[in-house]
Chain A
């Protein structure tokens, strides 16, 4: 918990603050730090998947209520992303380089799932180029963030001997 909660809370508010310095549409640096925090905290749950998914749902619910004015939407999507993170971690070990790969897969999955849900309910018109744009505009900044936050949390987990799966 000493790593999980700070990472989640810092990422959650940092995403909101960063959005004020980044242009709304035409940017390569769109923050998705809350999603990235799920990738970082997964190993610290030590295979307690139900608890991990609970945290995903809770973060999604707060994201819904505080930032996007929606209800349940991000909660369900964050839980789905949690399941994807769990599956990816099953095949890939957890290290600084693999974090880049896991973060990329997570961002792509998040963008595609959200876009398809919004298309199905008729909120957006289907246009594959917009999905590409949303993905490549989110990758760079979030991968850098994931890499840095992994190094920081890894350092603290070694220093204070906090257990995690590798």
Chain B
């Protein structure tokens, strides 16, 4: 009798534990897989926590920047000479740029294009912390909805595309990096071959080889190594023309039907300190 009661109690305990595990997994699945909007309470806690973090980090950041400054000063004269040469070329480039911009605007009017890089404005941000969840491949930056940052805005550095904003609070945003393993993170890209473009989908990131994978490219197309890969602007998420990387190698898939292209990005995803958010320009009527 006593043993039966004990067995029954044990069964209930196992059942309760199983239910808790299932509930936990369903909640985590929803939270991690779906890009949800943070509640007001979550936003306030996050902002407060990161504000304290910023205050603690400030003196360390100051010392770090001073050390960098001292190191850079050693090479100051050579840099000055290099910049002097560039200034001479600057007027010429500026005039050419104005002319190209005018041409581009008139062409955009004719073609009714509105998803190009020139229709974006740049917002610089500092990285507050990097990939603390390890598996999530995200960074937190110090610009939020108060600065005009919205979910899904592209984030770049001078070397190319970095990722996109996945959540914002009033003063901070979280950016999901392109190196994220999340399979729903597909981006439409084009490979520039002379005057032609080959379109494909950036589907994966190979951690071992440190390169991105493009799939869905016709077997009969010849793609030279070092061809430049940029975003297409399709899907309305990323504007057209953001640099993603260069073609590193080309393989065929298991069925010999399509090509798999490996791309190497110049972005050092391991060392991101400052990034730029692309914000759509508001059209003045």
Binding site for B on A (CB under 8 A): 13, 15-17, 19-27, 30, 62-63, 65-74, 76, 114-115, 117-118, 120-125, 130, 134, 138
Contact = CB atoms under 8 A, between A and B. Distances in A.
Nearest to B32: A123
A17 B270 contact: no
A17 B57 CA distance: 6
Contact of A121 (B25, B49, B166): B25
Given A16-B129, A69-B174, A25 B32 contact: no
9 closest pairs, A vs B, by CB?
Answer: A23-B270, A66-B49, A68-B133, A121-B29, A67-B132, A16-B129, A19-B130, A24-B131, A65-B45
Contact of B270 (A24, A63, A71, A123): A24
Interface stretch (B95-103, B134-142, B190-198, B254-262): B134-142
Given A24-B179, A71-B31, 15 more contacts: A17-B56, A19-B129, A19-B132, A24-B131, A24-B271, A65-B49, A66-B50, A69-B133, A69-B138, A73-B32, A74-B133, A115-B135, A122-B29, A122-B33, A124-B135
Contacts of B33: 121-123
A26 B270 contact: yes
A17 B64 CA distance: 12
Contacts of B138: 68-69
B135 A30 contact: no
B8 interface: no
Contacts of B129: 16-17, 19-20, 67
Contacts of A72: 24, 27-28, 31
10 contacts: A16-B129, A17-B57, A17-B60, A20-B129, A23-B270, A66-B45, A67-B49, A69-B133, A71-B31, A123-B181
Contacts of B38: 69
Contact of B135 (A19, A26, A114): A114
Contacts of A20: 57, 127-130, 273
A27 B270 contact: yes
Contacts of A30: 134
Contacts of A15: 132
Contacts of B128: 16, 20
Given A20-B57, A70-B28, A25 B207 contact: yes
Nearest to A63: B132
A72 B33 CA distance: 14
B53 interface: yes
Contact of B132 (A26, A68, A114, A138): A68
A65 B270 contact: no
A16 B53 contact: yes
B270 A16 contact: no
Interface string B28-63: 110111000010001001100110110011001000
Nearest to A9: B52
Contacts of A23: 270-271
A71 B138 CA distance: 16
B278 to A, nearest CB: 21
A13 B132 CA distance: 11
B208 to A, nearest CB: 8
B231 interface: no
A15 B276 CA distance: 25
A17 B29 CA distance: 28
B240 interface: no
Contacts of B50: 66
B56 A25 contact: no
B182 interface: yes
Contacts of A117: 25, 28
Contacts of A62: 45, 49
A125 B135 contact: no
Contacts of B32: 70, 73, 118, 121, 123
B269 interface: yes
Interface string B99-136: 00000000000000000000000000001111111111
A37 B117 CA distance: 46
A74 B32 CA distance: 12
